Amino acid sequence: MRSPGRHRHLPALARLVIVALLLAALIGGTSAVDGYGRARRQRMKNKVLEMFYHAYDNYMTYAFPHDELKPLTKSFTDSLSELGNLNLEHLPQDYNGSALTLVESLSSLVVLGNLTEFERGVLWLSENLTFDVDARINLFECNIRLLGGLISAHVLAKEYSNQLKDGLYQDQLLHLAESLGNRFLPAFETPTGLPYAWINLKYGVMENETTETSTSGCGSLILEMGVLSRLTGDSRYEAAALRALRKLWSLRSSLNLVGTTLDVLTGKWIEYSSGIGAGVDSFYEYLIKAYILFGSDEYWDMFHSAYLAVQKYFRHGPWSTLLPGTSFHLSCQSLEYHEADMRTGEATHWQLTSLQAFWPGLQTLLGDVTAANLSHREFYNLWQRFGVLPERYLLDYGMLHPTEKYYPLRPEFAESTFYLYQATKDPWYLEVGEAIVGSLNYYSKVDGGFASVRDVSTMELEDHQHSFFLSETCKYLFLLYDDSFLRNQNYIFTTEGHPLPIRSTWHEKFPATHVPSNWTFVKDESQPIRVSALSSQVCPETIFRQIVGSPWESACHVPDSYASHRCRIDDDCGIEAVTCKKRTCSMAGYCGLWLVIY
């Protein structure tokens, strides 16, 4: 056993083991002892199934093979060229869609257990889909939706090949993914290595193309392109994405903060204000997930520095809320997150956005469950107030943003609810899931599918069913009530909800025996279930001061169960205050950050 501070290479391996144990505690089989009840869980599972198929069947009836469904008029939109294109510029004339929603739905069909429809979709795409089209697309959106969807579906088709009826799958989706990846590469041919935000699938980078891109647009490509390289043996995809990520990180400020937009030719920042929301969110998400997927210490070093900077400069307080159904106020240091200038750390915009709702899920993945509980509560308060989650809420004015009152069926709040339930087994999160399902059915369900909400103050609807409603929102809600897909499996989800396998052979830095064989298997049901701070109706900071005696503790700190640091199981151990890493129980019965030797 070694302490993590002794040598540089030991912490990396120890962190891999720790993250593995965290994932093992997070994702796994549902338990009947959480107080929710099997019948109630089955009823909610069926409701989510009905939602998915109502959306999917209407897409297949009225929109397929075009990109997305318009549920109010029961028609379609070829929206791939419109994603991220706020001004709707340079729209193609002869583009007839890429079956975007079908590609996005494939992994969900497997999660729901419908291999028949999955195989039907795979065969259609294998015979009909082509990317040799004159269409200008957003690299980031096309990467997470189409490339991610194809790669994930390819892996699932290989893993479930013995259960497919015809058994005709011969890597067709991988070939399509490779074709798409090849069309991405010209975007990276810049002096900085940062990719253009826009590229024409047939002709490459267009003349006089804009050089502005977002942090997410050049820092959230490594999962899909890295896996494509490992599946094809062609290193160019991962090399391009990694070069862009390294360049982006080199442009951070002395505070370890990044901005929102920058120029791909000069590397100069255009927008210095930043946060954890739009334009930046998946940058943080992909750093920690790339570390889990590929095991490189470089990703952890970037993420750890970036995470601590977020906690230092974007958090603010104080905060108080009334717990539902009680007269008890829970008052703690706030875990709302504002935006700040990357150069000074000074606050710029005091707002809560729907895209920020992914953050509690990321914190849960990291093991920072107490902080995740509190920030999740902020979003739940807004959901209860409006019935759905508005795109932007101004904290300093206590009001909706005047032009961003919409809710396009986003999945981030459901995603974080799923992760927090897996971490705590607290049935309160299943009830939150009920609220989400109830709102979606009440406000957004129409005869032709599920419509986005144009204005949360009036609940006026918009004629658009985004593909991520099927790839993420429905998937995470289903997994909340039935996670059998994840049992004995090793997956990490992309920012678009597509599962990618975690394989020891992809951890090139370490021998295969050093990588745990099962990253997503649940802890034994006989192990104690920790109740969240919210359910206990106490502030974590209050507990910390009583036990540790310190006037302040970091948001991620969870003390060991016993002051002696003795333990019987991993659940007796807490989370380190400085490193935010989960402590585990050694064979000798003490909590610590232990290096596991196989």
Distance CA 153, CA 456 (A): 35
> 58-62 — which CB contacts under 8 Å span 24+ positions?
58/448, 58/449, 58/465, 59/101, 59/102, 59/105, 59/449, 59/465, 59/470, 60/102, 62/448
Quick one: which of 196, 151, 218, 144 has its CA closest to 178?
151
Using CA atoms, how far residue 174 sits from 150, 250, 410, 463, 490, in Å, is 7, 33, 28, 33, 20
Contact 358, 376 (CB under 8 A): no
* Binding-site residues from annotation: 495
What residues pair up with 89 in beta bridges, in sequence order? Answer: none
Proportion of the chain in helix, strand, coil states, percent, rounded to 5: 45, 15, 40
Tokens read off for 132 = 């040799």
Any idea which residue has 């759905």 for tokens? 388
Burial degree of 221 (CB within 10 A; 0-12, 13-18, 19+)? buried
Distance CA 354, CA 373 (A): 16
Contact 452, 461 (CB under 8 A): yes
Tokens read off for 405 = 């009152």
Contact 575, 558 (CB under 8 A): yes
Q: Provide the annotated active-site residues.
A: 141, 281, 391, 412
Distance CA 340, CA 60 (A): 44
Alpha-carbon dihedral sign for residues 517, 520, 521, 526? positive
pLDDT per residue, tens digit, the chain (598 aa), is 333 333 334 455 556 555 555 565 565 544 445 678 899 999 999 999 999 999 999 999 999 999 999 999 999 999 988 887 777 677 787 888 999 999 999 999 999 999 999 999 999 999 999 999 999 999 999 999 999 999 999 999 999 988 887 767 899 999 999 999 999 999 999 999 999 999 999 999 999 999 999 999 999 999 999 999 999 999 999 999 999 999 999 999 999 999 999 999 999 999 999 999 999 999 999 999 999 999 999 999 999 999 999 989 998 754 343 333 333 333 444 468 899 999 999 999 999 999 999 999 999 988 778 888 888 999 999 999 999 999 999 988 889 998 999 999 999 999 999 999 998 899 999 999 999 999 999 999 999 999 999 999 999 999 999 999 999 999 999 999 999 999 888 899 999 999 999 988 887 544 333 333 333 433 334 444 344 333 344 444 433 334 333 333 344 567 788 877 778 888 888 876 545 567 888 766 777 776 432 2
What residues pair up with 486 in beta bridges, in sequence order? Answer: none
* Binding-site residues from annotation for Ca(2+): 495
Distance CA 372, CA 426 (A): 13
Using CA atoms, how far residue 507 sits from 44, 151, 486, in Å, is 38, 18, 21
Quick one: which of 46, 55, 49 has its CA closest to 445?
55
Q: Which helix (H) or strand (E) holds 595?
A: none
